[in-house]
A and B are shown apart, each in its own frame.
Chain A
Amino acid sequence: MTPGHIEFPIIGAKWFIGLTALSHIVVASLAIGFAFIVTAAQIVGYLTRDRSCDLVAKQVQLLHVCVYNIGTIVAVGFIFGLSGLFPQFWSQLFVHQFWTLMLEELLFFMLATTLSLHYFFWDRLWGHKKMHIFLGALLTPFFLLQFYLINGIGSFMLTPGFAEGQASLSQGILGWDKQAFYNPSFLMLTLHRAFVNFSYGGFMVAGLCGWQLFKKHPENVAGAYEKAGRLSFTLGFMAFLTLPVIGYFYAHVIKYEANEAFVNLMWGRGDIIAGGIDWWWVKHLAVAAIFGMTMNYFWRQRKEPQALLSVPGIMVASISLFYLMFYLAMGMIMTYAFFWWMVFTAIGGALLARHRRHYHGGSPRALFTTVAIFSLLTVVLGGYAREAARPRFVDRISHYDSIYVPHERQPYLMLPIGPDEIPAPPAEPVKTPEPVRLIRQKCISYHTLERVKNYRAADWPLIVRQMRAYGLRLSTLEETMIVDYLESGEPY
């Protein structure tokens, strides 16, 4: 009996899930950033007795209400899609992490009510400003807790860690699997997404303020937008700076816990390439462009020490040097072409920012909106790259079949079919030969594979022994396998 599945017209099941998930992430991430920025602006407004900050905070909160509505409905579509298009996978994931998802639902409720109360009672609570700010400040921890829970499930799908659902398998269905939740990449994903959200939110608020500065406003209102834009831009940039560091450790975990995904990312394989384009590269190009533009902004700010949130030039130079080293390190892992592309894009970004500021009479409005657009692009492409790096489900009823085999299932999970009628698990993907895996894993820890490929010497035993002398950890068996394979001239 062949298991049937529903076909989604035109775009197919995979792209429907991808589109709804990414749309949700785009607005959900924005909501987290907005919540943080609103509270920051309200606190600044309260401490400085500056009503313009409060005005901007209210405007942003209205946008927040709008995106929250859309984000929630898109999430409903996402869940509908998963339930119908990938029923086996989704029901098992839901059972596996039932209590996690129930807590998630409770947080949705808390967020929706708190957000509504905060925005719609803004004027009524004018006389209780501290309480109102506190109410708004509750949104950020609620959001963080909510995406903390989702990250446990999302990271499990990339690095299952202990084993897929082993706790549930050995102890019955618990609705909660601690080892699966706190899987190896959970911490890194959570940190990375937290700072991405703050950064994205900050840049988007700055972009919206920049957009408002294109319109005609009274001087005090325009001043408020400019001030809020600069504040948000700086907050967004501070969060942005943490990302290479966290990203490095995140990649490190993926390298050991989801090696195939790591290889796909670094060398542009699998679904990372779509339409002939390496989308992970494109994401990094957008990041480099943002970096160049922000550096130009802060470099110019250093000349105006009286301006809001200016930083000394030495700090701008130090950050630039740090990024240069980061791209150099990435180039060593991937290819040096990556390094050069990033450097040139960053320079291009800086020049673009310079031009746009001159063109707009020194106003940062165009810069803010451009960075916001690039920021949106990085969030979308980053999410896509993370999900596409994983080998795709070959069969719609795949992946999770190794967990709940029929005779081990709880009765209410049983399907109305006999064990012999259960469709066979999908064929195992072709495994990378062990010597090839060894070459890829061991050599790129020290240099690019290009060096290996460009090497013309035929004395591989000597070269590999030299590498061991340089510090490469390799057993004798591994050494033999690598040497034999390299001598055979087969591709790797």
Chain B
Amino acid sequence: MAQFGFFLGEVIFLFFFYYLTWDKLRDRKRLHIFLGCVAAMFTLSVQFVWDALGSYMLTPSAALPMINQPVAWSTAAFFNPGFPFLFLHRFFGNLSYVMLLAGGIFAVCALRTKEAEQKEYWSFASRVTFPLGFLAFFAMPLIGWGYASVIQQHAPVAFHAIMGGHVSLHFTVKMVLAGTMVLLGSAWLFAGRKHLWLRLAVTAGLILTLLVFLAHPPLRALTESPTVWFAGLAAIFTALLLSLWLFAPRLKERHEFWQWTKLAIGLLAFSAFLIGGFVRERSRSPYTVYGEIVKPEVEEREADRFLFYGKCLGCHAPGELKKPRAADWRERVAIERQRPELDLTDEQATRVVRYLEDDYR
């Protein structure tokens, strides 16, 4: 119901009080801007409520009420552990991808417009929106790190699904898209010797990203040595920063290539945003609300996979299990069950074996 009120407020302020009064309030610009801000606050409130519901589905801190116990409001459920992180992550994510995409579109508009005045206007719009979107992006690794930690703690199976499980491929694609976006965007922001503060801000953002990566344990696919991991990351980021400060400023900013590149960066950001949402929702499968409601069309294999992630991936990496050290999974699981910390019933053991036999042959 609060959401309904926010929707109503959003429409009234955004359309009636802000858009339709644009010309009438030309001489009362402060008031007009204020009305726009109120509309933005309502929009943000809508996102606030949706994110509470969305994050509850992944990290429900309160159990779902029974059908005969409607509660209409639960503080514990609304302010669940994942909520602040999802809200902040989506807030900066929205800001970033919308600004980057808009900047890219404006850049192409500038390229295609023949009128000098219009060309100048589009260029100006692109120069404003694109850097803002790019700088907003640098909040994402830090918030994302916190969000991942919360998921690891409160929805461990979803965490395993992202980090090596069935949505890890999508997550990797997302990271590659984001990485490409950062490389190209940084190059543009250093091209043509832009403002010093802008270059410093990008440098700070890249260093922040490096710190997040350094806090991450080594990726097993690359190395298992922390030293190699630290040294490699430091070398890559140092090389990147040196290239940006020494070579990128020599590039011509107004070259046609950059305008199309900016559009490509905007599309990359949008794609990363889409895939990120998909990863979040798919990671809790087969649950609609993690640990509470299973989706109606659940398949046996999905339920087995959830069990397998929950019971096995706390100690084993999925890649490790792919090595056929034991030909007979039934025998292997029976050995594991002797470990006191593994609580596995006979029925669960059968399901885990069934999943392993099908997926780890």
A interface with B by C-beta (< 8 Å): 1-6, 66, 69-70, 73-74, 76-77, 80-81, 84, 87, 411-412, 415-417
A22 to chain B, nearest CB (A): 16
Task: Give chain A residues whose Cβ lies under 8 Å from the Cβ of B246.
Answer: none
Q: Are the C-beta atoms of B16 and A412 separated by less than 8 Å?
A: no
CA distance A1 to B12 in the complex (A): 44
B59 to chain A, nearest CB (A): 22
B interface with A by C-beta (< 8 Å): 1, 3-4, 7-8, 11-12, 15-16, 20, 66-70, 72, 296-297
B6 to chain A, nearest CB (A): 10
Nearest residue in A to B3 (C-beta to C-beta)? A80
Identify which of B3, B7, B20, B67 contacts A415 (C-beta below 8 A): B67
CA distance A363 to B8 in the complex (A): 37
A7 to chain B, nearest CB (A): 8
Q: Are the C-beta atoms of A69 and B4 separated by less than 8 Å?
A: no
Interface-central residue, A3, A69, A417, by most chain B CB under 10 Å: A69
Chosen A-B contacts, 11 in total, with CB atoms closer than 8 Å, are A3-B67, A4-B69, A4-B70, A6-B70, A6-B72, A66-B20, A69-B11, A69-B15, A73-B7, A73-B11, A80-B1
CA distance A55 to B8 in the complex (A): 29
CA distance A324 to B325 in the complex (A): 96
A372 to chain B, nearest CB (A): 20
CA distance A69 to B12 in the complex (A): 9
Task: Give chain A residues whose Cβ lies under 8 Å from the Cβ of B70.
Answer: 4-6, 84, 87
CA distance A255 to B8 in the complex (A): 40
Identify which of A1, A76, A412, A415 contacts B296 (C-beta below 8 A): A412
A76 to chain B, nearest CB (A): 6
A175 to chain B, nearest CB (A): 14
Task: Give chain A residues whose Cβ lies under 8 Å from the Cβ of B20.
Answer: 66
Nearest residue in B to A62 (C-beta to C-beta)? B20
A78 to chain B, nearest CB (A): 9
Identify which of B69, B72, B296 contacts A84 (C-beta below 8 A): B72
B21 to chain A, nearest CB (A): 12
Task: Give chain B residues whose Cβ lies under 8 Å from the Cβ of A77.
Answer: 1, 4, 7-8
Nearest residue in A to B16 (C-beta to C-beta)? A66
CA distance A3 to B68 in the complex (A): 5
CA distance A132 to B68 in the complex (A): 53
Closest 4 CB pairs of A and B: A412-B296, A77-B4, A6-B72, A3-B68
Q: Are the C-beta atoms of B66 and A73 separated by less than 8 Å?
A: no
Q: Are the C-beta atoms of B67 and A416 separated by less than 8 Å?
A: yes
Nearest residue in B to A20 (C-beta to C-beta)? B4
With contacts A73-B7, A80-B1, A84-B70 known, what are 12 further pairs, Cβ within 8 A? A1-B68, A2-B68, A3-B67, A6-B70, A66-B15, A66-B16, A76-B4, A81-B1, A81-B4, A411-B296, A415-B67, A417-B68
Identify which of B4, B16, B66 contacts A80 (C-beta below 8 A): B4
CA distance A66 to B12 in the complex (A): 9
Q: Are the C-beta atoms of A416 and B66 separated by less than 8 Å?
A: yes
B8 to chain A, nearest CB (A): 5
CA distance A270 to B196 in the complex (A): 76
Q: A66-B15, A66-B16, A69-B15 are in contact. Are A76 and B7 (CB under 8 A)?
A: yes
Q: Are the C-beta atoms of B8 and A73 separated by less than 8 Å?
A: yes
Task: Give chain A residues whose Cβ lies under 8 Å from the Cβ of B4.
Answer: 73, 76-77, 80-81
Task: Give chain B residues whose Cβ lies under 8 Å from the Cβ of A415.
Answer: 67
Task: Give chain B residues whose Cβ lies under 8 Å from the Cβ of A412.
Answer: 296-297
Task: Give chain A residues whose Cβ lies under 8 Å from the Cβ of B11.
Answer: 69-70, 73
Task: Give chain A residues whose Cβ lies under 8 Å from the Cβ of B7.
Answer: 73, 76-77
B114 to chain A, nearest CB (A): 18
CA distance A292 to B69 in the complex (A): 54
Task: Give chain B residues whose Cβ lies under 8 Å from the Cβ of A87.
Answer: 70
CA distance A1 to B68 in the complex (A): 8
CA distance A6 to B11 in the complex (A): 27
CA distance A82 to B22 in the complex (A): 37
Task: Give chain B residues whose Cβ lies under 8 Å from the Cβ of A74.
Answer: 8
CA distance A81 to B296 in the complex (A): 24
Task: Give chain A residues whose Cβ lies under 8 Å from the Cβ of B12.
Answer: 70
Task: Give chain A residues whose Cβ lies under 8 Å from the Cβ of B69.
Answer: 4
Task: Give chain B residues whose Cβ lies under 8 Å from the Cβ of A66.
Answer: 15-16, 20
Task: Give chain B residues whose Cβ lies under 8 Å from the Cβ of A80.
Answer: 1, 3-4
B288 to chain A, nearest CB (A): 12
Task: Give chain A residues whose Cβ lies under 8 Å from the Cβ of B3.
Answer: 80
Interface-central residue, A77, A412, A417, by most chain B CB under 10 Å: A77
Task: Give chain A residues whose Cβ lies under 8 Å from the Cβ of B297.
Answer: 412
Task: Give chain B residues whose Cβ lies under 8 Å from the Cβ of A5.
Answer: 70
A412 to chain B, nearest CB (A): 4
Task: Give chain B residues whose Cβ lies under 8 Å from the Cβ of A2.
Answer: 68
A20 to chain B, nearest CB (A): 8
Q: Are the C-beta atoms of B72 and A4 separated by less than 8 Å?
A: no
CA distance A46 to B220 in the complex (A): 72
B303 to chain A, nearest CB (A): 15
CA distance A296 to B280 in the complex (A): 66
Task: Give chain A residues whose Cβ lies under 8 Å from the Cβ of B16.
Answer: 66
Task: Give chain B residues whose Cβ lies under 8 Å from the Cβ of A1.
Answer: 68
A73 to chain B, nearest CB (A): 5
Interface-central residue, B11, B16, B67, by most chain A CB under 10 Å: B67
B291 to chain A, nearest CB (A): 15
A17 to chain B, nearest CB (A): 12
B64 to chain A, nearest CB (A): 10
CA distance A87 to B297 in the complex (A): 21
A95 to chain B, nearest CB (A): 12
CA distance A166 to B8 in the complex (A): 39
CA distance A412 to B288 in the complex (A): 13
Nearest residue in B to A88 (C-beta to C-beta)? B67
CA distance A437 to B72 in the complex (A): 43
CA distance A84 to B1 in the complex (A): 9
B282 to chain A, nearest CB (A): 20
B236 to chain A, nearest CB (A): 46
B205 to chain A, nearest CB (A): 38
B201 to chain A, nearest CB (A): 37
CA distance A69 to B17 in the complex (A): 13
B218 to chain A, nearest CB (A): 44
CA distance A3 to B69 in the complex (A): 7
A30 to chain B, nearest CB (A): 16
CA distance A76 to B50 in the complex (A): 14
Nearest residue in A to B7 (C-beta to C-beta)? A73
CA distance A3 to B67 in the complex (A): 8
Task: Give chain B residues whose Cβ lies under 8 Å from the Cβ of A69.
Answer: 11, 15
Task: Give chain B residues whose Cβ lies under 8 Å from the Cβ of A411.
Answer: 296
B341 to chain A, nearest CB (A): 31
CA distance A415 to B67 in the complex (A): 8
B63 to chain A, nearest CB (A): 13
A423 to chain B, nearest CB (A): 8
CA distance A4 to B68 in the complex (A): 5
Task: Give chain B residues whose Cβ lies under 8 Å from the Cβ of A81.
Answer: 1, 4
A67 to chain B, nearest CB (A): 11
Nearest residue in A to B70 (C-beta to C-beta)? A6
Nearest residue in B to A80 (C-beta to C-beta)? B4
Nearest residue in B to A2 (C-beta to C-beta)? B68
A123 to chain B, nearest CB (A): 15
Interface-central residue, B1, B8, B66, B297, by most chain A CB under 10 Å: B1
CA distance A417 to B1 in the complex (A): 28
Task: Give chain A residues whose Cβ lies under 8 Å from the Cβ of B67.
Answer: 3, 415-417
Nearest residue in B to A5 (C-beta to C-beta)? B70
Task: Give chain B residues whose Cβ lies under 8 Å from the Cβ of A70.
Answer: 8, 11-12
